[in-house]
Amino acid sequence: MSESNVVTLKSTEEQQDLIIQSPASGLCLQGSLRVPGDKSISHRALMLGAIAQGETIIKGLLLGEDPRSTAACFRALGAEISELNTEEVRVRGIGLGQLQEPVDVLNAGNSGTTMRLMLGLLASHPGLFFTVTGDSSLRSRPMSRVVKPLQQMGAQIWGRQGNSLAPLAIQGTLLKPIHYHSPIASAQVKSCILLAGLMTEGQTTVTEPALSRDHSERMLKAFGAQLSIDPETNSVTITGQAHLQGQNVIVPGDISSAAFWLVAGAIVPGSELCIENVGVNPTRTGILEALSMMGADIELENQREVAGEPVADLRVRYGKLKACEIAGNLIPRLIDEIPILAVAAVFAQGTTVIKDAAELRVKESDRIAVMASELNRMGAKVTELPDGLEITGGTPLKGAEVNSHTDHRIAMSLAIAALNATGTTTIHGAEAAAISYPDFFESLIKIIK
Ligand code: S3P
């Protein structure tokens, strides 16, 4: 990749260091850019394409490591998936209930979505045996949140620590429909149960305490599943034994990736950025609401609907930010954006409190502990709460050595913080960005003026 005076990448065999050297004269960010395809929608398009009848054509697929893990798993389960590229991926589905027994362990890599959603499908394939694993981060993340409801449906699943950690072994069996009241607002849990429900005779309902992202519901409907939604109770009901037909899917840009540029544009003096073609599904736009509470200057332009998902171009201009409180039902609508919101809070006047977000402790890293420790290394005032962060803004940041803890969103959040720090910041483990944003560094270089 090309490098600039500000951004340098140093690679060894094991890892990459991103070095950001902020010029004494300052820098600003200008221009238009496109973010890669939405990760959640990319996973679902590959999975539903694989279990539908006929061909699914996906345009704009995210080429990150996580969807590559999904594609590899579903190829091993019998689906034909063409080489992954952003223009057009063709998936020849095998039909509902027709997954094949793989000859080896299914590896979900770093991807919680791959493992949790796939478990719903595997558990409901009678007579087949599967083993699933992931990288060291995924092997430490809780799987009981999907194993328990699947067991209520009759699933046979075994794993480490009381069947709660991968590697997991699954003996597929005929499942029965249930009404599951999920204790957490999690689209991964909801989607896992809905996919398992697809294979049952009868109706499966998931009720969650707050609404989580609804991409599965939208896409299942588009593929022909019978689905009803009760917004009053945050419940979704799916009728089993549906006929799923392959579709054309156009994946919008990922708002979770756009979030890095929204915050960068808002905190770096003199900046103006336009992020084009971003998915603005209301279950994902909590970041826009939080930044607006902080006083950020963000406009939605050219709002439109593309293949069942709302899309817009997002324009952000630098401006002064103020602290806010982020809590409650807003949390599931911005759960992946909290690391970068913490960076925004460091540059906002006052004390920002983020709470009700204990889920962050079981993401790709413990994002509460990691963001507090790494931002504090740069001179920020961040305190860990059991379920969030307290951030007192206004103290200037100084360059430091920080670490991604192999978490893609931490690597990119620290890179944005470094743009506004004096001196040199080195981010160890920067290669993690490729999980969801392989071109992140190129885009960064392109907009630095
Ligand atoms: C996702 C749901 C969220 C999110 C993850 C992707 C999905 O996780 O954090 O990055 O695609 O369903 P939870 O459902 O565990 O909250």
pLDDT in tens, 284-337: 999 999 999 999 999 999 999 998 899 999 999 999 999 999 999 999 999 999
Q: Indicate whether 311 and 389 sit together in one domain.
A: yes
Q: Give the DSSP H/E element, type plus range, for residue 276.
A: strand 272-279
Confirm whether 177 is domain-assigned. yes
Residues 323 and 352 sit within 8 Å (Cβ to Cβ): yes
Best substitution site from 256, 284, 335 to test ligand 1's pocket, by max atoms within 8 Å of Cβ?
Answer: 335
- 121 CA distance to ligand 1 middle (Å): 17
Q: Containing domain of residue 223, as a range?
A: 39-250
**Residue closest by Cα to atom 10 of ligand 1:** 336
Tell me which of 198, 219, 250 is where a domain ends. 250
Does residue 367 register a pLDDT over 90? yes
Q: Tell me if 335 CB under 6 Å of ligand 1.
A: yes
* Cα 387 to Cα 363: distance, rounded to the nearest angstrom: 13
Q: Indicate whether 79 and 227 sit together in one domain.
A: yes
With a CB cutoff of 8 Å and minimum separation 6, the contacts of 29 are 261, 264, 265, 268, 271, 272, 273, 419, 447, 448, 449
> Which is the catalytic residue, given 38, 214, 336, 439?
336
Q: What is the DSSP letter of 95?
A: -
Question: Tokens in use for 370?
Answer: 């990691």
Residues 405 and 370 sit within 8 Å (Cβ to Cβ): yes
Question: Tokens in use for 269?
Answer: 């003096």
Residue 249 has a pLDDT of 98
pLDDT in tens, 34-57: 999 999 999 999 999 999 999 999
Tell me what the mean pLDDT of segment 382-396 comes to: 97
Rounded mean pLDDT of the chain?
97
Does residue 364 register a pLDDT over 90? yes
* pLDDT category of residue 345 using cuts at 50, 70 and 90: very high
3-state secondary structure of 115: helix
* Cα 444 to Cα 430: distance, rounded to the nearest angstrom: 13
Residue 186 has a pLDDT of 98
* DSSP bridge partners of 226: 239
Residue 12 has a pLDDT of 87
Does residue 2 register a pLDDT over 70? no
Nearest of 191, 204, 205 to residue 241 by alpha carbon: 204
**End-to-end Cα spacing for the chain:** 18
Q: Quote the pTM value.
A: 0.97
Q: Indicate whether 242 and 351 sit together in one domain.
A: no
- Work out how many domains the chain is built from and give that number: 2
Tell me which of 250, 278, 307 is where a domain ends. 250
Confirm whether 2 is domain-assigned. no
Residue 206 has a pLDDT of 98
Residue 174 has a pLDDT of 98
- 186 CA distance to ligand 1 middle (Å): 6
- 113 CA distance to ligand 1 middle (Å): 6
* pLDDT category of residue 121 using cuts at 50, 70 and 90: very high
* DSSP bridge partners of 245: 53
Residue 336 designated active-site:
yes
Residue 3 has a pLDDT of 64
363 is in an annotated binding site: yes
Residue 166 has a pLDDT of 98
Nearest of 307, 416, 319, 325 to residue 61 by alpha carbon: 307
pLDDT in tens, 425-445: 999 999 999 999 999 999 999
